[in-house]
Amino acid sequence: MAHLQGKSVPTRFGIVVFPGFQALDAFGPLDALNSLAYYFPLDLSIIAATMDPVSTRPPNAPPQGNFSESIVPTHTFETAPPLDVLIVPGGRGTKDINVVQGVIDFVAKVYPSLKYLITVCTGSGIAARAGVLDGRRATTNKKAWAETTALRTEVKWVAHARWVVDGNIWTSSGVSAGLDVIFAFMEDVFGKEAADNVANGLEYERHTDSTWDPYAKIYNLKDSDA
Amino acid sequence: MAHLQGKSVPTRFGIVVFPGFQALDAFGPLDALNSLAYYFPLDLSIIAATMDPVSTRPPNAPPQGNFSESIVPTHTFETAPPLDVLIVPGGRGTKDINVVQGVIDFVAKVYPSLKYLITVCTGSGIAARAGVLDGRRATTNKKAWAETTALRTEVKWVAHARWVVDGNIWTSSGVSAGLDVIFAFMEDVFGKEAADNVANGLEYERHTDSTWDPYAKIYNLKDSDA
């Protein structure tokens, strides 16, 4: 923990990755935090099933071409250090239970020791299956709405939301919404000046209204308890 | 080359990476293309000085904490295959000539064989030093404007621009502008339907006006020939 104006702030960040994770789900929030790390002494652990590089290419990728990137883990689910904040991206890999069962188990195991859990896109489907969203309000990717919300009916799924905060869990809508949720989190926890400085450095025009969501309209979605 | 309504489209993409590259400069465009690759048979080569993983952490990183990510190259500057499109990200590493001289040399070598060159952020400083922007209009990161435009005065640097197209070279403003330039490129080359489908899938609200640029105003910038 570091201190900001007498308040302690989280410094130990982690992200889980798995084959078929969505690159921007991960690297939107991570790059905002890369910049924040120039103001605060932050550490990042990149956590996966094994120490082998993890590809954005899902097991069920189309046979045509090969357009993907691989990231290098720093820890496994067994060796991950204590964390203040865990980020869970989504992506096509979440559709394969064999790919994400280990991630689900890891989220269930470490959630009680976290200060914050942040999910992006269908990453909320992982958190939901870990049981940590039961009874909470949460959102997810809008194109994958039906299949993701069906994973756990105990969750109060909110359709019209760029992101949702319930307790210490921040869930965002699809892919690029990860940028908006991380900046909202950054403003709340590290202060508006830090969030504005980082957003201007990334030349990113934030959506600051958590209910902004043209994508829910595209797919004509309704809240799960509506 | 694949074909779209009788028109050939580029399929052989490459990106150069170097220590201290900016993660979102690379992964914004790459993730949009990851999605486009579900519609077209695209290939990606990730090209670096060696086959070792390449970190976003620059050589001159602050000693505090360690918040960075590493990507795995698929080719070196010597083994890179023929490319249709090359993407050049920026980042703090571009400030160190020892880090980027090999990248500059690679861009100078392959540019004549490319169909398109796309730079993000201070990646245009690499292209400028490779000499390929001489006499052309181009833009770059607005916070790093002074130091980047000073690298090559033969370039017609445009201050107020989200992105600039001159011939077959597309240059963008800082970091998140890489998303807007890749979608503008995608619309121009692969068609509006593809660009809209991918942007909606990423839940990304594009800036479609290339002159939109509140960041030039923040830093009170003027065009280099103004």
Q: Quick check: A223 and A160 in contact, CB under 8 A?
A: yes
| ipTM attached to this prediction | 0.95
B27 Cα to chain A: minimum distance (Å): 6
**Does the beta-carbon distance from B203 to A179 stay under 8 Å?**
no
**All domains of chain A in start order, with CATH:** 10-49+70-218 (3.40.50.880)
A54 Cα to chain B: minimum distance (Å): 9
Of A13, A43, A142, the CB nearest to B203: A142
pLDDT-based confidence at residue B7 (cuts at 50, 70, 90): confident
pLDDT-based confidence at residue B1 (cuts at 50, 70, 90): low
CA A154 to CA A197: how far, in whole Å? 38
B171 Cα to chain A: minimum distance (Å): 15
Please report, rounded to a whole number, the percentage of residues in chain A having pLDDT higher than 90: 89
Q: Which residue has the tokens 């690297």?
A: A27
Alpha helices by DSSP H, chain B: 23-36, 97-110, 123-129, 145-149, 177-190, 192-201, 214-218
pLDDT of residue A13: 98
Q: What is the DSSP string of chain A?
A: -EEETTEEE--EEEEE--TT--HHHHHHHHHHHHHHTTTS--EEEEEESSSS-EESS-TT--SS-B---EE--SEETTTPPP-SEEEE---GGGG-HHHHHHHHHHHHHHGGG-SEEEE-TTHHHHHHHTTTTTTSEE---STTHHHHHTT-TTSEE-SS-SEEEETTEEEE-STTHHHHHHHHHHHHHH-HHHHHHHHHHTT------TT--HHHHHTT---TT-
Helix, strand or coil, per DSSP, at residue B198: helix
pLDDT of residue A8: 85
pLDDT of residue A43: 96
Q: Mean of the per-residue pLDDT values for chain A?
A: 95
Confidence check: pLDDT of B118 > 80: yes
pLDDT of residue A64: 77
**Does the beta-carbon distance from A44 to B13 stay under 8 Å?**
no
pLDDT-based confidence at residue A2 (cuts at 50, 70, 90): low
Say which amino acid occupies A66: N
Q: Quick check: A20 and A99 in contact, CB under 8 A?
A: yes
Say which amino acid occupies B156: K
CA A83 to CA A14: how far, in whole Å? 6
Mean pLDDT of B196-221: 95
pLDDT of residue A60: 75
Condensed to tens digits (0 to 9), the pLDDT of residues A61-100 reads 777 779 999 999 999 999 999 999 999 999 999 999 999 9
Confidence check: pLDDT of A206 > 60: yes
User: From the candidates A16, A51, A69, which should be mutated to test the interface with B, based on the most B CB atoms within 10 A?
Assistant: A69
Condensed to tens digits (0 to 9), the pLDDT of residues B70-117 reads 999 999 999 999 999 999 999 999 999 999 999 999 999 999 999 999
pLDDT-based confidence at residue B2 (cuts at 50, 70, 90): low
Of A30, A72, A174, the CB nearest to B23: A30
pLDDT of residue A225: 65
Mean pLDDT of B170-188: 97
Mean pLDDT of B50-63: 88
More confident residue, A220 or A72: A72
The count of residues in chain A is 226
Q: What is the DSSP string of B92-147?
A: GGGG-HHHHHHHHHHHHHHGGG-SEEEE-TTHHHHHHHTTTTTTSEE---STTHHH
